[in-house]
């Protein structure tokens, strides 16, 4: 493999066509990868790097038609979530890092099993956990550890339980807090401004992109936060887009001139979802073109060496490409990333910090994107570039 800059492999793949035998390769990878994942042990409980991430995989497979016994997968997920919740750091309040993530996934599992009383119990428990999120220090707004991370759990249960009104009161309060904090810190042309650990991060995990993307998915709560709140989010997003390098990538933090990282947590990857969301809301072509520009950066520089997780591995970047589907070009590109990850698994696995976790993983590339595997559009089809729905919700 040809390593271009120490961080990623040179991309010489032909995106005019999907990779050969991609469907068989992905299905086999899902089967083998799931076996590996279930045998791995996790000391942590979180979705991000712990046992709850395995539960997420099981639930995703169970609800995408790719598990032979969906009820058994849900029961196994619940068993693991029980242990995961106990192992979670009680100070953490988010979908990715904390009990809220475990409880949200339990609600999803109970929903699939049609255990509606237990599902409601989980929603009540989330409502209690929301008190911890609203009590966070003022500045804690980002996705991995802050208020938007709890809102990620809200978005997940709303989506999975198909009820957009769930947890309306805590969601409204958290959105109000995030807007108020951003306004209070506004500066230098930023209508909303956020820092994490005294640094203005721009990307999807700790930064402004993730915060804005979360807020845009909560339009009713934004409207309650003030007549100008939605406009503040959109104008802040424009300011963020203006920060991009000439290369099309995004700096990891404000004032950082190093154009290095292209991954979910930092760089262009997280901007694809944000720009697409803006284009859907405003129905203009400008944001769609911006999304494609960010996607182009991901395509060129996104074959990362560091493991196969969602946060800073090839699958997270593949998912950004998949988000740009429909369009055969982007689907081909996403499929190439998925198959590349599978075919280089043995080389990439040792590079991961936590090989069997979801976000820093070796094996998280095995998940399906449900609609595509089912639709099978002509000349295209499924993709194992995973956990799209989760990234979208945080
Ligand atoms: Zn990362």
Per-residue pLDDT reduced to its tens digit, 297-338: 999 999 988 777 788 888 889 989 988 987 889 999 999 998
The tokens for 393 are 């919700």
Interval between CA 342 and ligand 1 midpoint (Å): 20
- 243 annotated as belonging to a binding site for a ligand: no
The Cα–Cα gap between 88 and 103 comes to 11
Instruction: Compute CA distances 189 → 183, 193, 242, 295, whole Å.
Output: 11, 9, 11, 26
Interval between CA 243 and ligand 1 midpoint (Å): 20
Q: Kindly report the pTM of this predicted structure.
A: 0.90
Interval between CA 308 and ligand 1 midpoint (Å): 11
**DSSP bridge pairs for 201:** 253
* pLDDT interval class at 346 (50, 70, 90): confident
- Terminal C-alpha separation, the chain: 33
Which of 249, 189, 237 lies closest to 213 in space, CA to CA?
A: 237
Mean residue pLDDT across the chain = 86
Exposed/middle/buried for 117, CB within 10 Å: 0-12, 13-18, 19+? exposed
Instruction: Please indicate whether residue 109 or residue 357 has the higher confidence score (pLDDT).
Output: 109
- 311 annotated as belonging to a binding site for a ligand: yes
The Cα–Cα gap between 70 and 318 comes to 26
The tokens for 11 are 């991309």
The Cα–Cα gap between 357 and 153 comes to 19
Interval between CA 69 and ligand 1 midpoint (Å): 33
* pLDDT interval class at 377 (50, 70, 90): very low
The tokens for 289 are 């073109």
Tens-digit pLDDT profile for residues 39-96: 888 888 888 888 898 899 899 889 888 888 999 999 999 999 999 999 999 899 999 9
- 325 annotated as belonging to a binding site for a ligand: no
Largest CA distance in the chain: 55
């Amino acid at each position: 493999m040809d390593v271009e800059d120490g961080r990623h492999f040179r991309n010489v793949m032909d995106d005019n066509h999907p990779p050969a035998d991609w469907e068989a390769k992905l299905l086999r990878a899902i089967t083998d990868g799931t076996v590996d994942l279930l045998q791995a042990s996790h000391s942590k409980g979180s979705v991000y790097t712990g046992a709850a991430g395995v539960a997420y995989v099981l639930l995703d497979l169970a609800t995408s038609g790719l598990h032979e016994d969906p009820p058994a997968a849900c029961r196994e997920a619940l068993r693991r979530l029980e242990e995961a919740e106990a192992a979670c750091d009680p100070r953490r309040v988010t979908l990715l890092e904390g009990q809220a993530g475990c409880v949200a996934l339990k609600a999803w599992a109970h929903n699939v099993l049609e255990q509606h009383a237990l599902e409601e119990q989980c929603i009540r428990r989330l409502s209690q956990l929301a008190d911890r999120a609203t009590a966070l220090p003022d500045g804690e707004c980002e996705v991995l550890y802050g208020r938007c991370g709890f809102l990620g759990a809200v978005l997940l249960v709303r989506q999975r339980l198909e009820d957009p009104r769930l947890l309306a009161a805590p969601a409204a309060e958290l959105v109000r807090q995030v807007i108020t904090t951003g306004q209070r810190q506004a500066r230098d042309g930023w209508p909303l401004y956020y820092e994490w650990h005294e640094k203005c991060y721009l990307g999807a995990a700790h930064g402004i992109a993730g915060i804005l993307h979360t807020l845009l998915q909560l339009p009713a709560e934004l409207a309650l936060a003030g007549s100008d709140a939605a406009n503040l989010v959109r104008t802040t997003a424009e300011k963020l887009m203006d920060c991009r390098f000439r290369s099309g990538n995004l700096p990891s933090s404000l004032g950082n001139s190093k154009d290095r990282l292209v991954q979910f947590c930092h760089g262009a990857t997280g901007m694809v979802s944000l720009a697409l969301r803006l284009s859907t809301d405003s129905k203009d072509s400008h944001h769609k073109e911006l999304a494609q520009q960010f996607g182009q950066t991901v395509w060129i520089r996104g074959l990362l060496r560091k493991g196969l997780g969602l946060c800073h591995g090839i699958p997270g970047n593949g998912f950004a490409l998949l988000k740009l589907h429909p369009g055969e070009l982007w689907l081909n590109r996403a499929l190439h990333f998925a198959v590349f990850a599978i075919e280089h698994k043995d080389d990439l696995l040792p590079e991961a910090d936590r090989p069997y976790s979801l976000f820093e993983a070796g094996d998280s590339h095995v998940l399906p994107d449900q609609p595509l595997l089912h639709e099978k559009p002509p000349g295209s089809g499924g993709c194992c570039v995973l956990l799209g729905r989760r990234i979208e919700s945080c």
